[in-house]
């Protein structure tokens, strides 16, 4: 299940230094994904016991754990059991997800198992299949957005954008799917040879992204 770690991250959990767990495998196949080794399970696998021992050693230094991937929710009850063990060890938990498993997200939220959820919204609903690289059940995505927005936990939505797949109008439409634009972040795509597909999809610059968001915040 666990195919990678980052023992000290300053960027994965807002306001916290976190221990990052990467789960292997994914039910999406986004061509620009830069975690292809994790998705394809080509990295070292860690046991839960190893992870819990590492967390025990770091309790004086960090207070949070980020679970990302790949896509963690493909592991179902196994993921829930891992989250419970980490929570029982006293850590705050952030879960990164693509929102494709609304029923599992509901169970996690209703059971108060995590403190923060970050969900990737890949593109407009009409362009989801192209961007995710597979046929996607859009109803699950919509349900997940609604569940997260109506939960009492911290959350964010985000889109990794590139010029091949995303236009300014696409971003405007994606924002219409959510209630609070302040909970939405645009992440710039960056080319990497670790992608699923070795193709440069062309990045928006940080300035261009900032201009888009400033413009849309005024118009929304």
Q: In the prediction, which pLDDT does 220 show?
A: 45
Cα 171 from Cα 76, distance rounded (Å): 31
Closest CA to 93 of 7, 26, 12: 12
Between the alpha carbon of residue 211 and those of residues 73, 167, 173, 219, the distances in Å are: 34, 13, 16, 13
The residues, ordered by sequence, that sit 6+ positions from 107 with a Cβ below 8 Å of its Cβ are: 80
pLDDT digit string (tens) for the chain, length 220 residues:
999 999 999 999 999 999 999 999 999 999 999 899 999 999 999 999 999 999 999 999 999 999 999 999 999 999 999 999 999 999 999 999 999 999 999 999 999 999 999 999 999 999 999 999 999 999 999 999 999 999 999 999 999 999 999 999 999 999 999 999 999 999 999 998 888 988 999 999 999 999 998 888 755 4
* 73 CB-side CA count, 13 A: 23
Domain that holds residue 79: 2-219
Domain total of the chain: 1
| Residue 196 contacts residue 30 (beta carbons within 8 Å) | yes
Give the CATH number, domain containing residue 154. Answer: 3.20.20.70
């Amino acid at each position: 299940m666990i195919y990678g770690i980052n023992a000290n991250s300053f960027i994965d959990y807002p306001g916290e230094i976190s221990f990052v767990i990467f789960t292997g495998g994914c039910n999406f196949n986004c061509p620009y994904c830069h975690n292809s080794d994790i998705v394809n399970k080509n990295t070292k696998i860690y046991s839960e016991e190893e992870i819990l021992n590492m967390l025990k050693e770091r309790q004086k230094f960090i207070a949070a754990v980020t679970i990302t991937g790949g896509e963690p929710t493909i592991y179902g009850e196994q993921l829930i059991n891992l989250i419970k063990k980490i929570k029982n060890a006293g850590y705050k938990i952030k879960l990164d997800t693509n929102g494709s498993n609304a029923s599992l997200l509901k169970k996690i939220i209703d059971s108060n198992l995590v403190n923060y959820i970050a969900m990737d919204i890949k593109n407009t609903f009409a362009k989801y299949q192209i961007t995710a690289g597979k046929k996607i059940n859009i109803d699950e995505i919509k349900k997940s957005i609604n569940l997260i927005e109506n939960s009492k936990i911290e959350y964010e939505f985000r889109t990794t954008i590139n010029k091949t797949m995303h236009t300014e109008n696409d971003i405007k439409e994606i924002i219409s799917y959510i209630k609070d634009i302040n909970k939405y972040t645009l992440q710039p795509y960056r080319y990497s040879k670790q992608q699923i597909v070795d193709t440069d999809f062309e990045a928006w610059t940080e300035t261009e992204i900032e201009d888009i968001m400033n413009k849309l915040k005024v118009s929304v």
